[in-house]
């Protein structure tokens, strides 16, 4: 893998500074009291720079999520099953993917806990998170269809995996160490290995 260019590193640094500034302000003032202008000022960037990286203030909370989703899609597209996956096989694959997502989202335990508190305390963030989760399930359904899965498997497997994630996340709360075990327990309860 090649090293990012100087320009790419500067862009990543600016993006990271915006996210850090936003989370610091959310902790200090509360989510509702923080504006895009506040975030841009704290990050020492212009509003235009903010909007180059994020469509709105809500999107900062989900800053790395698109990278995770792209990685999930890439991983599943790289799988080249020799035959269409059955429901059990699709669920098993999606369990592994879901547990990998748990590892990614909790890589920074402090940020995970802050993010979960923000989502729990702000209905608009909860709505955004739910829409993103539905889009992920739809994307995984499409990938399963591309792999030849039946319509039923393609529709059901991603939504069952999402339900296990949501249940595990609810039980774990803001505790990053509890997310993966609780998600795994949800899959176990359904007999998905």
Share of the chain above pLDDT 70, in %: 99
Residue 37 has pLDDT above 70, yes or no: yes
- Across the range 26-48, mean pLDDT stands at 97
Helix axes 151-172, 87-105, angle to 10 degrees: 30
pLDDT, one tens digit per residue, over 107-129 is 999 999 999 999 999 999 999 99
Which residue is associated with the tokens 């590892």? Answer: 103
- Across the range 10-33, mean pLDDT stands at 95
Lowest pLDDT segment from 118-122, 134-138, 167-171: 134-138
- Across the range 69-79, mean pLDDT stands at 75
Helix axes 123-146, 151-172, angle to 10 degrees: 150
Residue 65 has pLDDT above 90, yes or no: no
Residue 181 has pLDDT above 80, yes or no: yes
What phi and psi values does residue 160 have, to the nearest 5 degrees?
Answer: -65, -45
- Across the range 48-52, mean pLDDT stands at 96
Q: Residue 180 and residue 143: Cα distance in Å, rounded?
A: 24
Lowest pLDDT segment from 4-8, 63-67, 126-130: 63-67
Tell me the pLDDT band of 68, cut-offs 50, 70 and 90: confident
> Comparing C-alpha atoms, which of 23, 27, 17, 28 is closest to residue 53?
17
Share of the chain above pLDDT 90, in %: 78
- Across the range 138-159, mean pLDDT stands at 94
Contacts of 78 (CB under 8 A, 6+ apart): none
Q: Where does the chain have alpha helices with state H?
A: 6-29, 36-43, 47-53, 57-61, 65-78, 87-105, 109-121, 123-146, 151-172, 176-189
Q: What angle do CA 102, 108, 111 make, to 5 degrees?
A: 100
Q: Please state whether 175 falls in left (phi above 0), alpha (psi between -120 and 50) or beta.
A: beta
Tell me the pLDDT band of 1, cut-offs 50, 70 and 90: low
From the centroid of its chain, how far is CA 106?
10
pTM of the model: 0.88
Q: What is the pLDDT of residue 79?
A: 72
Fold topology of 6-56 = Arc Repressor Mutant, subunit A (1.10.10)
Tell me the domain boundaries of the chain: 6-56, 64-189
């Amino acid at each position: 893998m090649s090293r990012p260019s100087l320009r790419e590193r500067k862009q990543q640094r600016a993006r990271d500074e915006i996210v850090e500034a936003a989370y610091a302000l959310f902790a200090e003032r509360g989510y509702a009291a923080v504006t895009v202008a506040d975030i841009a000022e704290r990050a020492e960037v212009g509003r235009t720079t903010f909007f180059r990286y994020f469509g709105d203030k809500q999107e900062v909370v989900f800053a790395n999520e698109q990278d995770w989703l792209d990685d999930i899609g890439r991983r599943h597209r790289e799988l080249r099953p020799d035959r269409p996956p059955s429901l059990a096989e699709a669920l098993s694959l999606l369990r592994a993917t879901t547990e990998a997502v748990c590892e990614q989202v909790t890589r920074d335990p402090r940020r995970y806990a802050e993010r979960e508190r923000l989502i729990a305390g702000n209905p608009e963030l909860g709505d955004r998170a739910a829409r993103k989760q539905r889009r992920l399930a739809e994307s995984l359904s499409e990938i399963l269809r591309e792999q030849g899965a039946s319509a039923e498997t393609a529709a059901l497997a991603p939504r069952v995996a999402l339900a296990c994630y949501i249940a595990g996340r609810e039980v774990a709360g803001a505790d990053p160490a509890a997310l993966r075990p609780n998600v795994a327990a949800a899959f176990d309860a359904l007999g998905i290995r």
